[in-house]
Amino acid sequence: MRFRVSQELRQAVGTEFSLELRRGSLFLDDQVALSDLEGSARLLRTDRGLLVSVRARALIGGTCSRCVSPLQSPIEFNLEEEFIPIVDPVSGAHITAAEAEESFVIDAGLTLDLGEALRQYALISSPSKPLCRPDCAGICPTCGANLNDGRCTCPPRIDAGWEALAAINTNDQEGS
């Protein structure tokens, strides 16, 4: 998501601008993609560059944490970052690497690329254990069948993990 900001950078400190954000899809990494991204960005000219504030919502792709079927989870996120131009928009002089190090940068063509910042903030906002539906039945640990499609033919089994956990809880109660 790239925006030319050469005009914005020539304005006085304190000048505000706004941008509409709308994108059908945006890849976050090899596996995760955002879709239906919608939002708005406010750009504020600072003495160093542009302070960008974004409010956005999107669908983020993923897999159900119980049955591993693909799903899309709605997310909302806000982002606020200062973007520093690597060249001075008026004089064309390059700013020092140290100044640019901790910040997002606006490239030498005075194009601001929101993609990396959106990627970082969207990934932080993505649910850690998404479910395809609140009552997802998961997969059978024995045969791997998706139990949302109906019961498999495996005999019912006692889960050793739950038994062990129950024993730990009992010990805790005895100790206190």
Nearer to Zn ion, 24 or 150 (CB): 150
Tokens of 131: 């479910």
Question: What is the DSSP pairing of strand 104-106 with strand 70-85?
Answer: parallel
Nearer to Zn ion, 74 or 109 (CB): 74
Nearer to Zn ion, 64 or 110 (CB): 64
**Could you tell me the smallest distance in angstroms from the CB atom of residue 161 to Zn ion?**
17
**Could you tell me the smallest distance in angstroms from the CB atom of residue 49 to Zn ion?**
44
**Could you tell me the smallest distance in angstroms from the CB atom of residue 151 to Zn ion?**
8
In angstroms, rounded to a whole number, what is the distance separating the alpha carbons of residues 68 and 31?
14
Interaction site with Zn ion (CB under 5 A): 64, 66-67, 132, 136, 140, 142-143, 145, 152, 154
Q: E strand or H helix at 82, and its extent?
A: strand 70-85
Place of tokens 């982002």: 79
Nearer to Zn ion, 112 or 132 (CB): 132
CB 103 within 8 A of CB 43: no
**Could you tell me the smallest distance in angstroms from the CB atom of residue 128 to Zn ion?**
15
- Measured in residues, the chain has a length of 176
